[in-house]
Chains A and B, each alone.
Chain A
Amino acid sequence: MITRFVLRALEGKIVVAIGVLLAIAVLVPALNLLVPAGSAFHVPTYAVSLFGKYLCYALLALALDLVWGYCGILSLGHGAFFALGGYAMGMYLMRQIGSRGVYGDPLLPDFMVFLNWKELPWFWYGFDMFPFAMLMVLVVPGLLAFLFGWFAFRSRVNGVYLSIITQAMTYALMLAFFRNDMGFGGNNGLTDYKDILGFSVQAAGTRNVLFALSAIMLALCLLIASAIARSKFGKVLVGVRDAESRVRFLGFRVENIKLFTFVVSAMMAGIAGALFVPQVGIINPGEFAPANSIEVVVWTAVGGRGTLIGPIIGAIVVNAGKSFFTGAFPEFWLYALGGLFIAVTLFLPKGIVGTIQHGWNARKALKAAAEREKGEDTDMMPQAAE
C-alpha cells in the first residue's frame, strides 16, 4: 500500500526534480571539498551555506504550496512554523554550547545567566538530546498547526479571514518571542552555536553535510508532497480548493482534510527551519515577522502554485535575486520585490512553472484534437496540427 502510494508520486517531472536535488546534494559538496580553491569550478564554503539557505526556503515554499496550491488555504503565518522548527533546533544547539559560553555556566545558556535566572525553564529540558530536539522540530509546529486548524477549520473560517488570522497568529508569536521572560533569548534570539552532534558548525565539512541534508530533505518532502497530491486525497484537496461545499455534500469531512494537510505542511516548514538555523547561525523573533511569511507566498506564486516544483524554483530564483540586489543595489530590492508581487498577480497568475505547464497542456490538447480529427476524417490534413 505504502509502496504504491510512493510509486504514484514518481511522475516524470518529479523524478527529474528529485534526481537534480540528489545530484546537487553530492555535486556541490564535491566541488567545495575536492576541487582546489583556485579552480573555476570551486564552490566557496560561504556559497554552500547560502545555497543551503535557499534550499531551506524552497522547502518552506513547498510546504506552503501544499496548503495553498492544493487546498486553497492561503496561510500568511507559515513563517511561524518555520521559526518554531528553527527555535527547536536552536535550543538543541544552545544546549550543546555547555560551559563554553561567555559566562561558562554548564547548564544555562548565556542569555539566562545575563537575566539572572537560576534554573533552566522546564521547556528547555530534553533539548540537550538530539533525537528529542528533532522530534520537537516536528511536534511543536505540528501541534500549533493542529490546535490552530482544529478551531479554524471546524468553525469554517475561510479565505481571507483565515489568511488574516494566520497573520495575526505569527504576529502574536513574534511579540511573544521578543519578550525576555519567554525564555527564548528575547530580541537577540539564539546564536553563537558551537557544534552539532559534536561537529563544529563552522567547519566546512559540517556545512557541506548540512547542505546535502537540506537537498535530500527537500527531495524527500517533494516525494511525499507529490504522493499526497497524486493520491485520491490530493484530488479531494483540489476539490476543496475549487468547490468546498461540493466536497462536503459528497460526504467528506473537509475540516479533517484541511487539518491533516495543514499539520503536514507545518511539519515540513518546521524541518526547513531546523535545517536553516545551523546554516545561518542564528534564530531570532524577526523570523516570525508577518512580512517574512508573505514573502514565502510570493516565492510560491512566482514559481507557480499547485505545481510543487514551481515553489522550489520560485524560492531559489527570488532569493538569489534578493542576494544579488541587496548586495548591488540595496535601495532597489524592495521596489523589485513589491513589483514582483504586483506583476505576478496581474500578469503571471499561474507562475513560471504553471504557465509553462499550461502552454504544454494546451499544445498537447491541440495535438490530441488534431489526432482525433485525423482519425475521423483522413482527408483533413496537416493544418489542424498548428
Chain B
Amino acid sequence: MLIRFVTLFFLIISAAAPSLAQSDPKPFIDQLADANFKQAEEIIGQIAATGDARVVPALEAFAEGDLYARKADDVVFITKTSGSKLALVDPLTGESAGEAAKGAMTKIKVNNNLRRAIRDALGALTLMSPDRNARLQAANTMLAAPSEDNLELIETALAKETDGEVRARMEEARAVSLLTSGRSIEEKREAIERIRNYGGRDAIGVLRGAYGSVDASLQPDIDKAIGAIESEIALWDMAQNVWYGLSLGSVLLLAAIGLAITFGVMGIINMAHGEMVMLGAYSTFVVQDLIRSSAPQLFDWSLAIALPVAFLVTAAVGLAIERGVIRFLYGRPLETLLATWGISLILQQAIRSIFGPTNQEVGNPSWMSGSFALGGMNVTWNRMWIIIFSLSIFFALLVLMKKSSFGLQMRAVTQNRRMASSMGIRTPWVDAFTFALGSGIAGIAGVALSQIDNVSPNLGQSYIIDSFMVVVFGGVGNLWGTLVGAMSLGVLNKFLEPWAGAVLGKILVLVLIILFIQKRPRGLFALKGRAVEA
C-alpha cells in the first residue's frame, strides 16, 4: 500500500514538475511489475523517453529475463540466481539490495516483440541521449560490434545529430553495419570509402571480415581501401618511431649534456661522468625514501625536491674531484681519462657498499604515469616529461652560457686562459665551478633517468660511452651539436631497431659513429680554422 502511495506521490510530482518526472525513470520501472505485454511496451517507450542512461542495465536485464518484481510490494529488481535464492540489485543504481527466496519474486515476462522494443529503446536512449558523451559512447559501441540490426537506428539518430564528432562516429558505425547488410552496392561503396577514412587496424579487420560476403564488384574497392589504410598505419608507425627516437634522444641528451660542458667546453675527459648521473639517481632514491617515511603526502613533489638535492650533491662531488685531482692534470687529457676512471670505480664501489649492489626502487609520481593517444600514436607521460625536461635543461644551459656573466667568464677562460686571467678572472675558480656545473647537470639528469632506468651502482656505466659518442658526434664545444647529435642518434637507433633488432641496431649505430668520426674527426658542427689546431 505504502508503495502505491509513494508511486502516486511521484506521479503527482511528475505532473507538477514534468522535467523532474521525466528524469526519474524509477516509477516507470516499477510499473512493469503488473503490466501486460502491451502496457510493458508503452512503459518501455516512456522509460526511453526519460533519456536517462541509468536505465540501460534494467532494460538489458529485462530483455534477458532477469527482471523480477517482489511479490510483497511490487518493487522491481534486477536479479541473479544465487543458490536457491535470488540476489537482488537495484535496477537504477546497481547497488545490492539483499536476497530473496525465488518464491517471493515474480519474473517480469518478456517476448520477442518486447525485446525489439527494448533494443530500439536502448539504441535510442544512448544514441539519442541528450548527453553528448553518451551518444559518442553508443556510437563507439556500435562501431566495435557492427550489426545490420542497428542500421535503421543509427540512421534515425544521424538525422538528428548535430555534433560533428559524434556525427562522424555515427557515420562510421553506420558504414560498418551497412557493409554486411543487404543494402545496395552503391551504398556499400560509399561505406567502404567511409571506413577507409576512419582508418586504423580495426577498420582493416572489418573490411577483411566483409570481403567474402560482399558483391565481387566491391572487392577491388576493399583492396584499395585496405591498402590505403595500411600505408596510413605505416605513416603513423613512422611517427611513433620518430617519437620513440626523440624520446631516446632526450635520454641521450640528458646523459650527455653535462659532458658537453666538462668535455665539450673544458676539454676534460671525465670518465666518472656516468657516476655523476648515478649519484643523481641515488639522491632521488634517498629523497623519496625520506618522503615515504616522514611526509607521504609530498610524494608527487618528490622529483621537484630531488632536483636541487641531486644538483647540489653532484656539484659538490664534482667540485671535490676538480680541486682534488683534475686541476693537477690540465693539459694531459689521457692522464685525466685514467684518473677519472679510477674515481668512477671508487664512486661505484662506495654506492655499492652503502646501498648494496641491487636495484633500488624509485617510484613514479602520479603525473608521470599513464599515457594518451595522439592520432595513431601512443604517448606515455613519463617519456613526454623527459623530453620536455631535457629540452628545458638544454635551453636553460644555453642561456646561462650565452647571457650570464659566469657563462662569459667560462667561455673566456676556455678560449684564452692567459688573457682571461690577466683580465682579472680567477681562472682556477672558473674551472672548478664550470666542472661543478657540468657535474650538477649530470646529477639532474640522474633524477630524470631514475624514472625510466634501473637505479643501480652500474647505472652510470651504461651511459658513459653513449654520452661521449653524442658529444663527439655532435661536435665538441658546441651545445647545439650535442642537441642535434643526441636527437639524430636516438632517431637513427629507433629506425634501425625494427630492422636489425635492438642490440644489432646499437652496434650499427656505434659502427656508423666510428666511421663518421673518421670522416669528420671534429663532429657535425666542427669549429674550423687555425685556432683549433693550436
The answer on direct contact between A and B (beta carbons under 8 Å) is: yes
The distance in angstroms between the C-alpha atoms of A161 and B335, with both chains bound, is: 14
Task: Tell me, rounded to whole Å, the shortest Cβ–Cβ distance linking B501 to chain A.
Answer: 8
CA distance A152 to B521 in the complex (A): 9
B343 touches A168 (CB 8 A): no
Contacting pair A335 B337 (CB below 8 A): no
A151 touches B515 (CB 8 A): yes
User: Which of chain B's residues have a CB closer than 8 A to the CB of A175?
Assistant: 503, 506-507, 510
Nearest-Cβ distance from residue A148 to partner chain B, whole angstroms: 8
A358 on interface, CB distance cutoff 8 Å = no
A160 and B341 contact, CB distance less than 8 A: no
A172 to chain B, nearest CB (A): 4
Q: Are B337 and A168 in contact (CB under 8 A)?
A: no
Cβ A163 vs Cβ B334 within 8 A: yes
- Which residues on A sit within 8 Å (CB–CB) of B350? 335
Is A179 within 8 A of B269, CB to CB? no
Q: Which of B333-369 contact A (CB under 8 A)?
A: 333-339, 341-346, 348-350, 352-353
Q: Which residues of chain A from 297 to 346 have a CB within 8 Å of any chain B CB? A: 297-298, 301, 331, 334-335, 337-342, 344-346
Contact yes or no, B472 A341, CB < 8 A: no
Residue of A nearest to B267 (CB): A160
Interface residue A50 (Cβ < 8 Å from any Cβ of B):
no
A176 contacts B334, C-beta separation under 8 Å? no
Nearest CB to that of A157 among chain B residues? B521
Q: Does B325 touch A at the CB level, under 8 Å?
A: yes
A143 interface residue, CB < 8 Å from B?
no
Chain B residues touching A, majority SS: helix
CB-nearest residue of chain B relative to A172? B510
B517 located at the interface, meaning its Cβ lies under 8 Å from any Cβ of chain A in the complex: yes
Decide: B349 and A342 in contact? CB cutoff 8 A: no
User: A334 vs B333: C-alpha distance in the bound complex, in angstroms?
Assistant: 23
Closest CB of chain A to B14's CB: distance in Å?
75
A285 CA to B506 CA, complexed, in Å: 16
Complex CA distance for A288 and B519, rounded to whole angstroms: 26
Query: Among residues 220 to 234 in chain A, which have CB atoms less than 8 Å away from a CB atom of chain B?
Result: none
Residues of A near B269 (CB, < 8 A) are 160, 163
Query: Does A165 reach chain B (CB closer than 8 Å)?
Result: yes
A205 within 8 A of B: no
Residue among B269, B341, B468, B517 with most chain A CB within 10 A: B341
* Chain A, Cβ-Cβ closest to B345: A338
Judge whether B504 and A179 touch: CB under 8 Å. Answer: yes
Task: Decide if A334 touches B346 in the complex (CB within 8 Å).
Answer: yes
Interfacial chain A residues near B338, Cβ < 8 Å: 294, 297-298, 301, 341, 344-345
Among B325, B349, B510, B511, the residue within 8 A (CB) of A335 is B349
CA of A159 to CA of B333, assembled, Å: 8
With A148-B514, A161-B472, A345-B335 known, 12 other A-B pairs at CB within 8 A are: A151-B518, A155-B518, A157-B518, A161-B517, A168-B468, A169-B514, A334-B352, A335-B345, A338-B342, A338-B343, A342-B339, A345-B342
A selection of 11 A-B contacts at a CB cut-off of 8 Å is A151-B515, A160-B334, A160-B337, A163-B337, A165-B513, A167-B468, A169-B510, A172-B510, A342-B325, A345-B342, A346-B325
Give A residues with C-beta under 8 Å from B: 74, 148, 151-152, 154-161, 163-165, 167-169, 171-172, 175-176, 178-179, 290-291, 294, 297-298, 301, 331, 334-335, 337-342, 344-346, 349
